[in-house]
Amino acid sequence: MRSPGVLTSLLLCLVAAGCASSGGLEDMVPRPSLETTSSIPRPAAAVKEGDAGTQAIASASDDFPASEPAALVEPESPVPASLVAITPSARPARPRSVRHGVVHERRFRDAKPINFGKRSPKHLAVHGVDVSRWQGDIDWVKLRSQGANFVYIKATDGGDHLDPMFRKNWRNADEAGLRRGAYHFFYWCRLASEQADWFIRNVPKDKDALPPVIDVEWNHESSCKRRPSHKNVLDKMQVFMDRLERHYGKRPIIYTSPDFYADNLRGAFQDYPFWLRSVAAHPGKVYPGRDWVFWQYSGSGLSHGVNGRVDLNAFNGDENDWWAWLARQNGSRMASN
């Protein structure tokens, strides 16, 4: 134990300008991660939750107890004031405009509208979005009123990246009445089991959440240039999905793009639900013979509540199909109000 005199000297040293040398507290900052797994280039450094600027995110919700292991998140400097923690007792009351159990009509616009013909997504009843840190600070009540009935939120990628907006988005989307789920961007240069453990470590187990999603694509801007064999791809995906299904009790959804699907997934995983990216034609043309639950039909959506563009998605079915599907995910009957 340190003596009081030594502690006093240390405190004085920290206050003094002369103590800010490169050999002191800076040595405690974790080394940057070299992993790059998003389609958008990432900063080189990573910081540890609990450090200045990210502790607010870690403590902002009851869903994430303070006792859980620390995670590495992408740095944001400076941290916007919107990320300051709100204690449960200080949270604002839920706006009266939020209506749970109601499907809101799609009111999104599109910066690059596509004519899908008779099989347009506008004919589908239930629409939603997917978001990450790149959407910034979202007004979830406004976004819900524009027709975002569900949201998939970027949580993790690889084995050591946590989206710095995940926890805030996870909490606020729920408070605004959206059905929420989390997705993981899969990294082909890391063990699938490590990635599954990382996702489980950071995404709460919520019986009302949408099934977890594994996002599998070829990322041309990743530091990982490996393209595993067809068999290896399927094996790694199976390991990841099995772990998530055991933990969350829900079969994961596979999100993919046309090129990756053509290389690896045609005819595979017939008993898994799919979320398909198809921004120029109906999924039936791009992925013939494949059943799907969600269709990502635009990457250039515009909506009140979000600055800039946002991905737009639709559920494959009518409103009754939506409630029935949700009930099956929860293992029980679910009323629509």
Active site residues: 130, 217
Place of tokens 């990841």: 240
Residue 236 near residue 268 (C-beta atoms within 8 A): no
Q: How many CB atoms lie within 10 A of CB 26?
A: 9
CA-based Rg of the chain, rounded to a whole angstrom? 22
78 preceded by a cis bond (ω within 30 of 0) = yes
Phi, psi values for residue 68, rounded to 5°: -70, 155
Full DSSP string of 45-111 = --EEBTBTTTHHHHTS-TTS-TTSPP-EE---SSPPGGGS---GGGPPPPPTT--TT-PPPP--EES
Euclidean distance between CA atoms 63 and 59, whole angstroms? 9
Rounded to whole angstroms, the Cα distance separating 251 from 245 reads: 5
Hey, what are 134's tokens? 């790149």
Residue positions counted in the chain: 337
C-alpha separations of 150 from 20, 155, 290 in Å:
47, 16, 22
DSSP strands (E only) in 226-272: 253-256
Q: Cα dist. 75→10, 78, 152, 168 in Å? A: 29, 9, 22, 15
- Which residues fall within 8 angstroms of residue 115, CB to CB, at 6 or more apart? none
Cα 280 from Cα 260, distance rounded (Å): 16
